[in-house]
Amino acid sequence: MAEEVKLFRTWSTPFALRIVWALKIKGVEYETIFEDLYNKSPSLLQYNPAHKKVPVLVHNGKPISESYVILEYIDETWKETPLLPEDPYERAMARFWAKFGDDKVFTSIFGGVFVKEGKEQEEAMVEAMENLQFLEEELRGKKFFGGERIGFVDLALGWLANLISILEDVAGLKIVGEDKFPLLSAWMKDFADSPIIKDNWPPRDKMIAKFQALRDAKLAAAASK
């Protein structure tokens, strides 16, 4: 009996892309259900009643939510091409850097640099640069965060390889330059150019329009306060 694998996602969320890439790396066939988060389907509300968010992976009728939980489930269910290292310490560190990426890097850029202006943006940029420097150091001596091939941390931080340039275009500033972050810049290019990765990026023009509208709305809301 064939396995049933479904992925509930939106067209643009970077959190669901982690799952797309993992399933592709593992060679798992799956069905994609695109959600409109302003008009959520009954199936999404049924499968993720706690958060009512994407991504949600449904495997043989059983739903799993939250991108990192899903990634680990995929890695444990389909053993080929492991995403996490075998060594317990290295596995713990992979989880640490993945969480650091969301809690510190993503937050300082999306919640800081991208939606602020003037002095507030300058202050947010200092924090973002400090966080990115930690990633630069972590890449020393490695092609990918996972070593010589893409692993768990690379998938967790993969949004950087696409969204950074989009945010830079929209906000008119440079966040990751080759002069300051040569290793991170090289990683972004190597990751983005990997066949499984580059074949699944969302349309750039639509992403620019989406994030331009998001930034405009955030700045307008801040100005009206």
Q: Give the three-class secondary structure for 177.
A: coil
Q: Which CATH superfamily is domain 5-77 in?
A: Glutaredoxin (3.40.30.10)
| For helices 67-77 and 14-26, angle between their N-to-C axes, nearest 10 degrees | 0
Predicted confidence band of residue 225 (pLDDT cuts 50, 70, 90): confident
Provide the whole-model pTM.
0.96
Over residues 132-181, the pLDDT tens digits come to 999 999 999 999 999 999 999 999 999 999 999 999 999 999 999 999 99
Q: What is the residue extent of each domain of the chain?
A: 5-77, 88-223
Q: Does domain 88-223 have CATH number 1.20.1050.10?
A: yes
Over residues 26-57, the pLDDT tens digits come to 999 999 999 999 999 999 999 999 999 999 99
| For helices 204-223 and 160-171, angle between their N-to-C axes, nearest 10 degrees | 50
